[in-house]
A and B are shown apart, each in its own frame.
Chain A
Amino acid sequence: MKYVDEFRDPQLIRNVAGEIARSVDPNHEYRIMEVCGGHTHAIYRHGLQDVLPENLRLVHGPGCPVCVLPTGRVDDGLSIAEHPGVILTAFGDMMRVPGTRGTPLELKARGADIRMVYSPLDALRLAQNEPTKHVCFFAIGFETTAPSTALTLLRAKALGVRNFSIFCNHVTIVPAIRAILESPDMRLDGFIGPGHVSTVSGCRPYEFIARDYGKPVVVAGFEPLDLLEAILMVVRQLNAKEAKVENQYRRIVPWEGNMPALRAMSDVFELRPYFEWRGLGFISQSALKLLPAYAAWDAEVQFEIPGVRVTDPRAAQCGEVLKGVLRPPQCKLFGKECNPEHPVGALMVSSEGACAAYYRYVRYEDDAANAQPVTS
């Protein structure tokens, strides 16, 4: 399969893994954060931790959009489905995210009209096909999915579809990375930049990480060879005591980003002054809302949203895992009260969450030997 097989070639993978092993300083522990949930999933899906040296540790970042959505926003979104005549639509991996009164799938089983869609355009099409209903799209995601929401809104406006709205929960990755870098217990050496987000935003937004915090960033793709190559590039920068932004995913990611997508976003969205992230708390200017010109399609204007706030479960140590202070199995709840069927903390929610990926793919390992917190 083109663009897949050549990035899973066993010999090439062994070569790069060998090069990483030769490049790392055995007396130093390398902690590299992969920001994106898709990377976390790919690392575990391909068992990449097995081919990396033991003193190189991958830390899983805040880039799973489902995981970082706070419970209160889930409740708010699900409250829309309780209005008569409303069809609430959402992406597949939203469907198992728990609010305080259950997941979208559970509410659907109790009779709410909640449907899975593959894109916001499908939701708009549903609105056109069901003119007597109101179709609301529960929009989530980083810069990866925000442009498709924006384009859908532009189309809804152009077509004059009025029985359609967006419950906007789009977030932006840079403020989250900044929040992690500002955290007093931050212990990271470098970053693997998010591949999908960067197809839209480009590489420039990460320059502050290298410039202000002295940490290398390498934007990477999602195949095993992409990730290993990116890790090698970070290690080489660290060995050379350099800090710059590099683009490993050049075949997809333009350095300057995708201008039409960015333009569509700026036509439709503005920054919220602050937004709550599950596991990380409130982060200023980290999320998008619809511009007033789109109030007619804004579910937060069209419906009475309760504005629920639900405190993160105290025992779940998502924040520490997100910052790389703890590894998933070191959380007190991991695999016990908190598991993919009954997620308590954010990172167990979606298959891209660090804890869910770890639970699914690595849990067979005896972690007793590693059950000590990471020390710097």
Chain B
Amino acid sequence: MDILERPPGEVRFRDPQIEMAHGAGGKLTRRLIEGLILPLLRNPVLAPLSDSAVFDMNGVRVATTADAYVVKPLRFAGGSIGELAVNGTVNDLAVAGAHPVGLMATFILEAGLRGDDLRLEVEAVASAARRAGVAIFGGDTKVVEHGFADGMYVSTFGIGTVDPRARLDARAVRAGDRILLSGPIGDHGITILLARGELDLEADTLVSDTRSVLPFVDALLDSAAAGLRWMRDPTRGGVATALNELASECALGIAIFEDAIPLRDEVRGACEILGLDPLHIANEGQLLAVVAAEEADVALEAMQAVPGGERAACIGEVRTAPAKTVLAHNGYGGSRAVDMLVGDPLPRIC
């Protein structure tokens, strides 16, 4: 039963208070949205709970998305909050098969924020928008008292037109379809963890993967539009959460091959030390796609031909069983279930 058909109130939100984990993108986030927000705001456009809302406007298929960016520190290796805000919004439109037309950006500023820091972030917004080929149409600025925000927050809204070749629907996914991934996972999440300076770990070469995934989407639509079933940018909650949502929506099993998943040594090393699963770590510039088996090879070649897509890989396939489950298989015959993230990823002690 998908979310559209689910009777109102099936998922209940009984948590007594909001915790940080409700914003981590895993199970608790899902419960908050499905159990509290969706029942009160329910309508057919909202119901699929995609990152973008897709609807028909005077014969044109339009996608819209809204997002908010709260990140500490504001700047980190490979990116900053301003760049994230543009790329993240563009990516939410892109995985709906849409080309962005324009964005709005609202800046919530904490009194005491240095003018130079704000200028840097507005410049980051401008240059990321230029790179993605989208304009900032408007927005708002608000200032809150010192101590009420981590320097600044950015809230965005984006609108785009859906490519007529895109026919994306989790319910169209079939057993045998292939799972493609655009590149190494976990770079953003581990970069942020290291940038907070709480760990005596260093990975000089590791940078956030924040970027627009539009070139990958274009490559997939140009090479294999007919076989392209589903796309997602695996951000908070990581690849594990995105694939679990897919498994649940298509009511099939997802098999992934651990050896095929691209992963940098720095990310793998940090995850080994901290007891974290790279599949749960956030990404900001990767694309997951489900493509029909007969078109998977050509689609993968097209992704690998995109600059920055050299390590794109086929990481798994859709199977009939076990339904609604993601199973990871390793190279020596072992397997494990891959669950959605529960709460925030927390390091183990030994």
Interface positions of A from 282 to 321, Cβ below 8 Å from B: none
Nearest B residue to A148 via CB reads: B349
Q: Are B337 and A364 in contact (CB under 8 A)?
A: yes
Tell me what chain B mostly uses at the interface: helix, strand, loop, or mixed. loop
Question: Within 8 Å of chain A (Cβ to Cβ): is B2?
Answer: no
Q: Are B17 and A106 in contact (CB under 8 A)?
A: yes
Q: Are A224 and B268 in contact (CB under 8 A)?
A: no
Contacts of A352 in B (CB 8 A): 348
Contacts of B17 in A (CB 8 A): 106, 109-110
Contacts of A13 in B (CB 8 A): 332
Nearest A residue to B324 via CB reads: A364
Q: How many A-B residue pairs have CB under 8 A?
A: 108
Question: Within 8 Å of chain B (Cβ to Cβ): is A272?
Answer: no
Mask: chain B, 295-331; 1 = CB below 8 Å from A; 0 = not: 0000000000000000000000000001001010111
Beyond A38-B350, A93-B347, is A118–B335 a contact (Cβ under 8 Å)? no
- Nearest chain B CB to A208 CB, angstrom units: 24
Contacts of A140 in B (CB 8 A): 349
CA–CA, A145 and B350, complex, Å: 8
Question: Within 8 Å of chain A (Cβ to Cβ): is B1?
Answer: no
Question: Within 8 Å of chain B (Cβ to Cβ): is A122?
Answer: yes
Question: Within 8 Å of chain B (Cβ to Cβ): is A255?
Answer: no
Contacts of A361 in B (CB 8 A): 336-337
Nearest B residue to A105 via CB reads: B19
Question: Within 8 Å of chain A (Cβ to Cβ): is B342?
Answer: yes
Contacts of A109 in B (CB 8 A): 17-20
By the criterion of a CB under 8 Å from any partner CB, how many residues of chain A are at the interface? Answer: 51
CA–CA, A224 and B335, complex, Å: 13
- Nearest chain A CB to B321 CB, angstrom units: 9
Question: Within 8 Å of chain A (Cβ to Cβ): is B333?
Answer: yes
Q: Are B349 and A341 in contact (CB under 8 A)?
A: no
Interface positions of B from 24 to 58, Cβ below 8 Å from A: 27-28
Q: Are B346 and A92 in contact (CB under 8 A)?
A: yes
Q: Are A51 and B337 in contact (CB under 8 A)?
A: no
Q: Are B27 and A364 in contact (CB under 8 A)?
A: no
Contacts of A8 in B (CB 8 A): 330-331
Question: Within 8 Å of chain A (Cβ to Cβ): is B7?
Answer: no
Contacts of B27 in A (CB 8 A): 341
Mask: chain A, 335-376; 1 = CB below 8 Å from B; 0 = not: 000001100000000111000000011111000000000000
Q: Are A96 and B348 in contact (CB under 8 A)?
A: no
Contacts of B199 in A (CB 8 A): 118
Contacts of B265 in A (CB 8 A): 1
Between B268, B329, B348, the greatest number of chain A beta carbons within 10 A of the residue's beta carbon is seen for B348
CA–CA, A341 and B325, complex, Å: 18
Q: Interface residue tally of chain B, by bracket?
A: 35 or more
Q: Are B349 and A363 in contact (CB under 8 A)?
A: no
CA–CA, A49 and B332, complex, Å: 12
Partner of A92, one of B329, B333, B342, B348: B348
Q: Are A105 and B343 in contact (CB under 8 A)?
A: yes
Interface positions of B from 257 to 311, Cβ below 8 Å from A: 265, 268-269, 272, 275
Question: Within 8 Å of chain B (Cβ to Cβ): is A273?
Answer: no
Q: Are A141 and B339 in contact (CB under 8 A)?
A: no
Partner of A93, one of B19, B272, B325, B346: B346
- Nearest chain A CB to B70 CB, angstrom units: 16
Question: Within 8 Å of chain A (Cβ to Cβ): is B145?
Answer: no
CA–CA, A45 and B198, complex, Å: 26
Nearest B residue to A15 via CB reads: B332
Mask: chain B, 233-244; 1 = CB below 8 Å from A; 0 = not: 000000000000
Q: Are B350 and A47 in contact (CB under 8 A)?
A: no
Question: Within 8 Å of chain B (Cβ to Cβ): is A155?
Answer: no
Between B268, B342, B348, B350, the greatest number of chain A beta carbons within 10 A of the residue's beta carbon is seen for B350
Q: Are A1 and B269 in contact (CB under 8 A)?
A: yes
Contacts of A48 in B (CB 8 A): 334
Between B199, B268, B342, the greatest number of chain A beta carbons within 10 A of the residue's beta carbon is seen for B342
Question: Within 8 Å of chain A (Cβ to Cβ): is B21?
Answer: yes
Interface positions of A from 92 to 149, Cβ below 8 Å from B: 92-93, 95-96, 105-106, 108-110, 116-118, 122, 140-142, 144-145
Nearest A residue to B326 via CB reads: A364
CA–CA, A17 and B265, complex, Å: 27
Nearest A residue to B26 via CB reads: A341
Q: Are B334 and A51 in contact (CB under 8 A)?
A: yes
- Nearest chain B CB to A285 CB, angstrom units: 22
Question: Within 8 Å of chain B (Cβ to Cβ): is A50?
Answer: yes
Nearest A residue to B345 via CB reads: A92
Contacts of B329 in A (CB 8 A): 47
Beyond A4-B272, A93-B349, A340-B342, is A364–B333 a contact (Cβ under 8 Å)? no
Q: Are A360 and B332 in contact (CB under 8 A)?
A: no
Q: Are A224 and B348 in contact (CB under 8 A)?
A: no
- Nearest chain A CB to B330 CB, angstrom units: 6
Q: Are A92 and B19 in contact (CB under 8 A)?
A: no
Q: Are B332 and A10 in contact (CB under 8 A)?
A: yes
Beyond A47-B336, A50-B333, is A364–B275 a contact (Cβ under 8 Å)? no
Nearest B residue to A16 via CB reads: B332
Q: Are A364 and B349 in contact (CB under 8 A)?
A: no
The 9 A-B pairs with the shortest beta carbon distances in the complex, nearest first, are A47-B334, A92-B346, A10-B331, A361-B336, A13-B332, A92-B347, A10-B332, A109-B19, A91-B349
A46-B330, A92-B347 given; 11 more Cβ-contact pairs under 8 Å? A45-B336, A47-B334, A49-B334, A51-B332, A96-B343, A118-B199, A122-B198, A144-B350, A361-B337, A362-B336, A362-B337
Binding site for A on B (CB under 8 A): 16-21, 27-28, 198-200, 265, 268-269, 272, 275, 322, 325, 327, 329-337, 339, 342-343, 346-350
16 contacting pairs across A/B (C-beta < 8 A): A38-B350, A41-B275, A44-B336, A49-B334, A92-B349, A105-B343, A108-B19, A118-B200, A142-B350, A144-B349, A145-B349, A350-B348, A360-B337, A361-B336, A361-B337, A362-B336
